[in-house]
Amino acid sequence: MKKIGVFCASSNRMDGVYYEEAARLGAWIGETGRTLVYGGANCGLMEAVARAVHEHGGHVMGVVPQILAQRNRVSEYIDTTVHTADLNDRKQMLIEQSDIIVVLPGSVGTLDEVFTVMAANTIGIHEKRLVFWNIHGFWDDLFRLFEGLEQRGAINKPMNELMDRADTLEELIEVIRNA
């Protein structure tokens, strides 16, 4: 798994632990010679992971929708920029360019990306794996929702075929290495 896609928050208002953990992931990506594929923004967890990849010798691919460029929200840590018209194009390119996708804490945009990957996997468009890094239980409520959907028979493909879960960086690295 050379190209690690990352879906995560662009918010600068989260608890500091999330930025620290994003930087730890970025350092590992960089130190192991992998490529980060991410949304290209210069804020939030996006910037924390990109900066760390860059500072630790990795390659950073930013998939940048036109609106980010217009608002001067593009990270300076990008080595390869892929320009897209909008968020839908960006999402599609992020999925195509990633060997595996790590989901860090995020909000509506992150969930939109996650659900797109899962829905496409469910109907056989691709078999991209999502790995939720559940930092300090961030995704616990979402996991309960998934469990409820599965228990009610609403999901056609078992959740463990659509996603993995890691509670620590070490678990996350193990999942990536075994993917």
> What confidence tens digit (pLDDT) does each residue in 131-167 have?
999 999 999 999 999 999 999 999 888 899 899 999 9
| 33-84 tens-digit pLDDT | 999 999 999 999 999 999 999 999 999 999 999 999 999 999 999 999 999 9
Q: What is the mean pLDDT of residues 126-134?
A: 94
Provide the domain count of the chain. Answer: 1
CATH number of the domain bearing residue 50: 3.40.50.450
Confidence bin at 15 (pLDDT 50/70/90)? very high
pLDDT band at 1 (very low <50, low <70, confident <90, very high): confident
Query: 0.85 cut: is pTM over it?
Result: yes
The domain of 26 spans 3-178
Q: Provide the mean pLDDT of the chain.
A: 96
Neighbours of 99 (CB within 10 A): 16
CB under 8 A, 24+ apart: contacts of 154-158: 155/122, 156/122, 157/121, 157/122
Q: What is the pLDDT of residue 156?
A: 86
